[in-house]
Chains A and B, each alone.
Chain A
Amino acid sequence: SQQGEEDPQALSIQEGENATMNCSYKTSINNLQWYRQNSGRGLVHLILIRSNEREKHSGRLRVTLDTSKKSSSLLITASRAADTASYFCATERGGVGTASKLTFGTGTRLQVTL
């Protein structure tokens, strides 16, 4: 099964509303990252939250991390049509000086309509 599973798989909201996406994972992690992908394009890093952090903000983005529940949420406030994209969470394990891999979830497809 997926290391990162997201829900909902698809979300449709109107411009100005808030969008919340959730991500669950199964193993211990160093950090959890959220990425955005426009259709057929590369993934763009949005925000990284370390395992010892509980909440982080970046502009209109708010990320929470609950390591006891192995879950994270991404909140986009005051959404815009330009926020329409797929959003992925990715978990990272491994220590400093070693390399491991980012494991991506299944993604949430967000549609923001005018």
Chain B
Amino acid sequence: AAGVIQSPRHLIKEKRETATLKCYPIPRHDTVYWYQQGPGQDPQFLISFYEKMQSDKGSIPDRFSAQQFSDYHSELNMSSLELGDSALYFCASSRQLGVSEAFFGQGTRLTVV
């Protein structure tokens, strides 16, 4: 069965650079979440989209933005990268949120040097 696809799997950027992370949800899933997980930390919610509209916002820095496109894929754009942005970034998708579980991608490991 198709899973959530994230790309790239690994990314190395320098401070002050920009990074774009992509997420392709499971077909027919209408909700996408983005999470950030620092080393040894629990996943922290960044932002979610329902039917291509931003739905909820968590602890997402102003330097980050995200959107969901007409084909339901989502992109997380991160600018002016800082060393502290180094983390695993997970995307998850679900269908009719509130009644079903979220399926997570394998994550993108971002390293800022």
Q: A residues engaging B (CB < 8 A)? A: 2, 30-31, 33, 35, 40-45, 48, 88, 90, 92, 94-107
Residues of B within 8 A of A96 (CB): 96-99
CB-contact partner of B45 in A42, A43, A88, A101, under 8 A: A101
Within 8 Å of chain A (Cβ to Cβ): is B42?
yes
Chain B residues with a Cβ closer than 8 Å to the other chain, count? 30
A30 touches B98 (CB 8 A): yes
Cα–Cα, bound, A104→B98 (Å): 15
B104 touches A44 (CB 8 A): yes
Residues of B within 8 A of A44 (CB): 104
Residues of B within 8 A of A30 (CB): 98-99
User: Which chain A residue lies CB-closest to B103?
Assistant: A45
A42 touches B104 (CB 8 A): yes
User: Which chain B residue lies CB-closest to A2?
Assistant: B42
Can you identify 23 A-B contacts, CB atoms within 8 angstroms? A33-B102, A40-B107, A40-B109, A41-B107, A42-B105, A43-B90, A45-B102, A94-B56, A96-B96, A96-B97, A96-B98, A97-B96, A97-B98, A98-B50, A98-B55, A98-B98, A99-B55, A100-B48, A100-B56, A100-B98, A101-B45, A102-B33, A104-B44
Output the least CB separation between A32 and chain B (Å).
Answer: 11
Cα–Cα, bound, A45→B31 (Å): 16
Knowing A100-B55, A104-B43, A107-B42 are in contact, say whether A42-B107 is a contact too (CB < 8 A). Answer: yes
Residues of B within 8 A of A95 (CB): 98
Within 8 Å of chain A (Cβ to Cβ): is B21?
no
Output the least CB separation between A27 and chain B (Å).
Answer: 14
Within 8 Å of chain A (Cβ to Cβ): is B88?
yes
Residues of A within 8 A of B96 (CB): 96-97
Cα–Cα, bound, A104→B96 (Å): 19
CB-contact partner of B58 in A31, A97, A101, under 8 A: A101
Cα–Cα, bound, A39→B92 (Å): 18
In the complex, besides A30-B98, A100-B56, A102-B102, 16 extra interface pairs with C-beta distance below 8 angstroms are A33-B102, A40-B107, A40-B109, A42-B90, A45-B103, A45-B104, A48-B100, A48-B101, A90-B102, A92-B97, A96-B97, A98-B55, A99-B97, A101-B56, A102-B92, A104-B35
